[in-house]
C-alpha cells in the first residue's frame, strides 16, 4: 500500500498527519473497539510472545528477543521474530499477542512513511513515541477482553541537536517511559531485569560501557537464564540451534547480527 496514493486527491487538513485516522476514514482499518467487560473463561487462549530486552551500550541500543510463541502451556512456534524494524533508525520489540503486535508494527511503519513523504522530513522521536502510544490506547478495548495484550519496547536514534540513542517501554494502556539504561518485558522479564541490574551495578563495567561482543554476551546470558525459570521463554535451543534475534540501532542505522556470529559468541562466552 503506497501512503501517497491513499490521499493524493484529498485535503489532509482535517486529519493532520494521523495515518491510522486516514486508514479508518477510507475503511482500510478496523474502528477502535468499544471497551467492554473481560470475557469470562474464554474457550481459547491467544498466542503469546515473550521475552524481549533492550539496553544501551557503547554502540547504541541492543534489542533482543527469544523466538518462542506459546498458547497457554503449549509451544506454538519456536522461530517467531519479535524484534521488528519500523524505519531506518527505529526498532519495535514485541511481547504479547503477535497478531496484534505485527499489525501495529505495519501501521506504524506506514505512518512513518506517510509522514516522511507528505512532510518531506523524518518524524521526530517524540512523534514516533506518541504514535505507538496511540495505537496501544486504541487497542485497549481488546486488552479488556483479554485477547489483544501487547507490551512493546521501542528503540530509536535521535539525530537531532543532541544526537543520542533513545529507549522506551510501554504498558498495555499506552503510557510510555523513557529509560536511561535498560528495559525488559514479557513473562521472563523479572529474571532478565535482575540480571541487567546486576551487570549494570556490580558487573566489571556498566552496560553503557560494554563493547558489542560484551553486550551480546550479556543479552544471551539473560535470555538463557530466563528460559530456565519461565517455560514461555525459549532462550537458546541448543539441540535445534535456535538463537535469539538481536538487532542494534545506532547513528549508522540498524544492524542485524548474523545467527552464525551469535552462535559463536554463545559457544565461547555462555555455553
Which residues are identified as catalytic?
50
State the residue for C-alpha cell 543479552. Answer: 219
C-alpha cell, 10: 484529498
Q: Which of 49, 114, 67, 61 is nearest to 90 (CA)?
A: 61
If one counts every other C-beta atom within 10 angstroms of the C-beta of residue 244, the result is 29
Inter-residue contact 111 to 62 (CB < 8 Å): no
Distance (Å, whole) CA 50 – CA 186: 5
Which three three-digit cell numbers place residue 54? 533492550
In the block, cell 522521536 appears at: 125
- DSSP letter at 13? G
Which residue in the block uniquely carries the three cell numbers 535521535?
158
Helix (H, G, I), strand (E, B) or coil at 246: strand
Q: Where are the beta strands (DSSP E) in 88-218?
A: 90-93, 153-158, 164-170, 176-178, 182-185
Amino acid at each position: 500500500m503506497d501512503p501517497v496514493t491513499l490521499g493524493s486527491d484529498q485535503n489532509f487538513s482535517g486529519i493532520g498527519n494521523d495515518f491510522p485516522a486516514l486508514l479508518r476514514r477510507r475503511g482500510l482499518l478496523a474502528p477502535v473497539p468499544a471497551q467492554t467487560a473481560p470475557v469470562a473463561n474464554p474457550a481459547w487462549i491467544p498466542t503469546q510472545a515473550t521475552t524481549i530486552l533492550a539496553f544501551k551500550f557503547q554502540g547504541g541500543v541492543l534489542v533482543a528477543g527469544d523466538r518462542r510463541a506459546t498458547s497457554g502451556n503449549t509451544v506454538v512456534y519456536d522461530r517467531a521474530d519479535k524484534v521488528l524494524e519500523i524505519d531506518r533508525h527505529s526498532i519495535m520489540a514485541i511481547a504479547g499477542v503477535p497478531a496484534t503486535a505485527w499489525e501495529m508494527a505495519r501501521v506504524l511503519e506506514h505512518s512513518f512513511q506517510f509522514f516522511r513523504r507528505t512532510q518531506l522530513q523524518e518524524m521526530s522521536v517524540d512523534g514516533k513515541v506518541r504514535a505507538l502510544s496511540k495505537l496501544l490506547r486504541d487497542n485497549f478495548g481488546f486488552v479488556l477482553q483479554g485477547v489483544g495484550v501487547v507490551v512493546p519496547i521501542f528503540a530509536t536514534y535521535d539525530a537531532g541537536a543532541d544526537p543520542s540513542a533513545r529507549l522506551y517501554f510501554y504498558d498495555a494502556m499506552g503510557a510510555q517511559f523513557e529509560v536511561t539504561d535498560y528495559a525488559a518485558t514479557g513473562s521472563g522479564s523479572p529474571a532478565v531485569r535482575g540480571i541487567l541490574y546486576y551487570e549494570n551495578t556490580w558487573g566489571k563495567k556498566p552496560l553503557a560501557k560494554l563493547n558489542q561482543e560484551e553486550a551480546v554476551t550479556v543479552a544471551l546470558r539473560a535470555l538463557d537464564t530466563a528460559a530456565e525459570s519461565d517455560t514461555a521463554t525459549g532462550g537458546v535451543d541448543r539441540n535445534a540451534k535456535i538463537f535469539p534475534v538481536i538487532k542494534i540501532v545506532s547513528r549508522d542505522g540498524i544492524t542485524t547480527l548474523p545467527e552464525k556470529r551469535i552462535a559463536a559468541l554463545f559457544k565461547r562466552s555462555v555455553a
